[in-house]
A and B are shown apart, each in its own frame.
Chain A
Amino acid sequence: MFDLLGVSPQVLFGQLLLGLINGSFYALLSLGLAVIFGMLNVINFAHGALYMVGAFVAWLLLNYLGLGYWWALFLAPTVVGLVGMALEKTMLSRLYKLDHLYGLLLTFGLALILEGAFRHQYGVSGQPYPIPDLLKGGQNLGFMFLPNYRGWVVAASLIVCFGTWFAIERTRLGAYLRAATENPVLVQAFGINVPVMVSLTYAFGVALAGLAGVLAAPIYQVSPLMGSNLIIIVFAVVVIGGMGSILGAIVTGLGLGLMEGLTKVVYPEASNIVVFVVMAIVLLIKPAGLFGRER
C-alpha cells in the first residue's frame, strides 16, 4: 500500500497524525457550534475568535502570573465561558425573536472586535507556548514516532467530545436541554429557568472553544489570527455533518481532519481546499448534510 502511494510510512502516519490533531480541533469547535445552535439558533461567528482568546488567556497566565499549562487548562475555558455569558446576556439575548441571520452578523462583529483588539496589542506574529514538562518527549510506536503532547491532545479532545455527547444525550440535564431546544415555552412552564439555561449553554459552547485554544497553544503558536481561518473550515465541517447530531459533528470533524492529512501526502497543493470540495460534493448529493435533518 505504501509503495502504491509512493510515500514512506513515516510521512504517511506523520501527516495522518497531524490530520487527526486538526480533526480534534474541528470536532471540539463544531461540537460547540452545534450545541449553541441547537439551543440558541445562533451560528456563533465569534467561535474562532474565542478559541484564539482561550489560547491567549493561557499565554497571558503563563507570562504575567506564572500559572502553567494545567492551570490554564481549567482557567482559560472558565474565563472564555464568562466572557461568553456576558456577551449572551447583554447582546445576543436581544436578537432571539429576530431572524437568525442577525445573530450571525452580531457575532461576526464581535469576532472582528476581539481579533482586531488582540492584533493591535500583540501584532500578527505568533507567540510560542511551551509544552508542559509532564508531556514532553514521545513514544516510538514502531511504525512512527508519537510525541506525547500530540497524543494527549487527541485523547483529551476525544474524552471531552464524548463526555459532552454523554451529558447531552444520556443525563437528566441533557434531557432538559433537548426538551428546551424543541419547545422552550413548555419547558419553562414546567418550572425550569430557560433563559439561564440558554446563557449557560452559550457559555459552555464557547468554553469548549477556549479549551481547544489552550490545547492548541503548544502546537500552533498563539496568534491573533489563529481563529479566523479555522472557523471557516469549521463552518464547512458543520455544513457537511449537519447540525442535527452531536455525534455527527464529532465524527465529521475527525474524519475531515484525517482526510486533510491524507491529501497533504497525496496531493499537497489541494490540502487547503479539500474540505470545501468535500462540502460541495456532499451538498450536491445530500443537501441536509451527512447526519443532518432539515430544520
Chain B
Amino acid sequence: MTAASQATAATATATATATLRGPDAGTARTALLFVVGLTIAALAPFALYPVFVMKVLCFALFACAFNLLIGFAGLLSFGHAAFFGGAAYVTAHAVKVWGLPPELGLLLGTAAAALLGVLFGAIAIRRQGIYFAMITLALSQMVFFMALQLKFTGGEDGIQGVPRGVLFGVFDLTQPLTMYYAVLAVFVFGFALIWRAVHSPFGQVLKAIRENEPRAISLGYRTERYKLLAFVLSASLAGLAGGTKALVFQLASLTDVQWQMSGEVVLMTLLGGMGTLVGPVVGAGLVVTLESYLAATSLPVPVVIGAIFVVCVLLFRRGIVGEILARLPGRKA
C-alpha cells in the first residue's frame, strides 16, 4: 500500500457506503456540501479581511493541485514550488513589463507551469517513491537558482508592484471585492477541474496505478502516460494558483520558488488529509491562519510548522478530514 492509499482508506469506505445507499443520496449530499461551501466562500470577505481569504484560496488551490498527485496517483512531489513560483514570475512579468491584461498573464503563467511540468515530469516519472521526491526537489532547486540569477526575476527583490489591471476589460481588479470574486472564480474552476479529473475514468486509472502499478500495466494501461498527464495537470493548476497569488499580492518573489514552499504545500495536504478532495482546502486554511497568527508572536514559525509535521506523521496520518470521514457514524461498513 502506498502512503496515499492508507490515508484514503477512509474515503474509499465512505464512497462505498455512499454507493450502497444509492448514488442519488451521495450526489445530493455532495451538491449540498458544495452549495454550503460556496455560500460561505462568497460571504467570507464581509466577515474576514479579504486579502487573507484570497491568500487562503490561492494556497487551497495549490494544495488541491498537489493533492491530485500524492492523493490520487501516489506520487510525492517535493518540488511544486517551482510551478507555483515559476508561474508567479511569468504572470508578474507579463502583466507588469509587457502590459498584458490579467487574464492573459494568468494564462501565460499557467502555460509556463505546464511546460515546466512536462519537462520535470518526463524526467521524474522515470523513478518512483522516494527517488521521485528527491528528483522533483532537486529540479525545483534548479528553478530557484535560475530565479536568483536571471535578469527578469529581479533576484532578491523579486518583481514588485505588479498591477492588477482590468479582467476581460470589464472587471476592475483594483477593487478588493472584485479581485476577491475573481480569485474565488479561479479557485472554483480549479477545484471543479480536479473533482472532474478524479471522478473520471482517468482518475480511476490513476488510483489503480497508486494501488498497484504492475497490475495496471498488465491490464494494458500505459502508466507512464497517465502519470505524466497527472503531473502536468497538477503542475498547471499549481501554476494557476501561483499566478493568481502574484496578482493578489502584486508580488512574485524568491519565497514562492523556495523549497520551504514545496514543504508547506505538503504540510497543508497532509494536515487536511491526503486523498480527500476537501482536505487540502482545510489544511491550507489552517496553515495560512496559523502563520499569520504566529507572525504576530515571537515564536519561530519553522519550528511550529516542523512540529505539526512530526505530529501529523506520527499520530494522524489520515489528516483532519480523513479522520472525520473515518469516524463518521455508520461509515464503518
Interface of A with B (CB < 8 Å)?
Answer: 43, 91, 94-95, 98-102, 104-106, 108-117, 119-120, 228-229, 232-233, 235-236, 238-239, 269, 272-273, 275-277, 279-280, 283-284, 287
The list of the 10 closest CB pairs from A to B, nearest first, reads A109-B309, A112-B306, A116-B302, A113-B306, A116-B303, A120-B300, A99-B3, A276-B142, A236-B138, A287-B126
Bits for B144-159, please: 1 = Cβ < 8 Å to A, else 0.
0110110000000000
Interface centre among A102, A109, A120, A235 (most CB of B within 10 A): A109
Q: State how many angstroms separate the Cβ of A218 from the closest Cβ of chain B.
A: 26
Interface of B with A (CB < 8 Å)?
Answer: 1-3, 6, 76, 78, 123-124, 126-127, 129-131, 133-135, 137-139, 141-142, 145-146, 148-149, 259, 263, 266, 270, 300-310, 312-314, 317
**CB pair B1 A99 closer than 8 Å:** yes
**How far apart sit A9 and B330, CA to CA, in the bound complex (Å)?**
76
**CB pair B301 A279 closer than 8 Å:** no
B313 touches which one: A106, A277, A279 (CB < 8 A)? Answer: A106
**How far apart sit A108 and B80, CA to CA, in the bound complex (Å)?**
15
Nearest neighbor of B258 in chain A, beta-carbon distance: A228
Contact residues of B: prevailing secondary structure: helix
Chain A positions within 8 Å of B149 at CB level: 269, 272
**How far apart sit A203 and B305, CA to CA, in the bound complex (Å)?**
25
**CB pair A110 B134 closer than 8 Å:** no
B2 touches which one: A99, A112, A114, A232 (CB < 8 A)? Answer: A99
Q: State how many angstroms separate the Cβ of A192 from the closest Cβ of chain B.
A: 26
Q: State how many angstroms separate the Cβ of A94 from the closest Cβ of chain B.
A: 6
Nearest neighbor of A106 in chain B, beta-carbon distance: B313
B76 touches which one: A104, A272, A275 (CB < 8 A)? Answer: A104
Chain B positions within 8 Å of A238 at CB level: 134
**CB pair B134 A113 closer than 8 Å:** no
Chain B positions within 8 Å of A275 at CB level: 138
**CB pair A101 B76 closer than 8 Å:** yes
A276 touches which one: B131, B141, B304 (CB < 8 A)? Answer: B141
**How far apart sit A99 and B8, CA to CA, in the bound complex (Å)?**
13
**CB pair A106 B310 closer than 8 Å:** yes
